[in-house]
Chains A and B, each alone.
Chain A
Amino acid sequence: KAGVTQTPRYLIKTRGQQVTLSCSPISGHRSVSWYQQTPGQGLQFLFEYFSETQRNKGNFPGRFSGRQFSNSRSEMNVSTLELGDSALYLCASSFLGVASYEQYFGPGTRLTVT
């Protein structure tokens, strides 16, 4: 079974631009979550989508948004990029249910903002 895939793997953007990251979950997984990983703040939850609806949201500004499509694939968008947005963005998928703590992470998209 193929794992979680994320595209692109690396991205360089300039301050003020916007960016869209893509995530394809494991086949059969309906929940997709996004996390930001930085050396200073560690791993922080951004949001979770299930059946095209945002079920949970972390403490990030409105510049961070996401969506999920009917095939469970998800995208996240960051508008008006800031230098502090440079991070590894991780997507994770899981089955809906009791064991949802069991998240399967992709390799991440490394975003650099200059």
Chain B
Amino acid sequence: QQQVKQSPQSLIVQKGGISIINCAYENTAFDYFPWYQQFPGKGPALLIAIRPDVSEKKEGRFTISFNKSAKQFSLHIMDSQPGDSATYFCAAWRGKLIFGQGTELSVKP
């Protein structure tokens, strides 16, 4: 039972471009929607998170857009850099983290 669906599975972006990853959820009772970044050999690390009563949150080059009526949210990475190459997971939180399937991002120099 997958409650959070993430797309695309993989993404290739040129340096300086915008990376966009999308997620959709089913359960309306989630309290937070965080994004995690994972590098090979490491555990996931929290990148940015948003509450469902906020439509957008920006931290540096990272922005979450949240559409409550559509039950969708997305991560935008502006001015993408090769160092951003990693796997990104969206998640939904209500007592536990429900993760999307992940997006492998590759930023080409």
B79 contacts A by Cβ under 8 Å? no
Q: Chain B contacts of A105 at CB under 8 A?
A: 42-45
A45 B98 Cβ-Cβ under 8 A: yes
Please, how many residues of chain B have a CB less than 8 angstroms from a CB on the other chain?
22
B100 A103 Cβ-Cβ under 8 A: no
Q: Which residues of A contact B (CB under 8 A)?
A: 4, 33, 35, 42-45, 48, 55-56, 58-59, 90, 92, 100-108
Tell me, in angstroms, the Cα distance from A79 to B91 when the chains sit together: 29
B100 A100 Cβ-Cβ under 8 A: no
**Cβ of A89 to closest chain B Cβ, rounded Å:** 10
B96 A33 Cβ-Cβ under 8 A: yes
**Cβ of A35 to closest chain B Cβ, rounded Å:** 8
Tell me, in angstroms, the Cα distance from A4 to B42 when the chains sit together: 11
**Cβ of A106 to closest chain B Cβ, rounded Å:** 5
Q: Which residues of B contact A (CB under 8 A)?
A: 1, 31-32, 34, 41-46, 49, 89, 91, 93, 95-102
Tell me, in angstroms, the Cα distance from A48 to B89 when the chains sit together: 20
Tell me, in angstroms, the Cα distance from A99 to B34 when the chains sit together: 11
Question: For residue B6, which residue of chain A has the nearest CB?
Answer: A42
Tell me, in angstroms, the Cα distance from A70 to B102 when the chains sit together: 34
Tell me, in angstroms, the Cα distance from A104 to B44 when the chains sit together: 8
Residue in A103, A106, A108 whose beta carbon sits within 8 Å of that of B97 in the complex? A103
A43 B32 Cβ-Cβ under 8 A: no
Q: Chain A contacts of B49 at CB under 8 A?
A: 101-102
**Cβ of A99 to closest chain B Cβ, rounded Å:** 8
A42 B46 Cβ-Cβ under 8 A: no
Tell me, in angstroms, the Cα distance from A35 to B102 when the chains sit together: 15
**Cβ of B98 to closest chain A Cβ, rounded Å:** 7
Tell me, in angstroms, the Cα distance from A108 to B45 when the chains sit together: 13
Question: For residue A100, which residue of chain B has the nearest CB?
Answer: B93
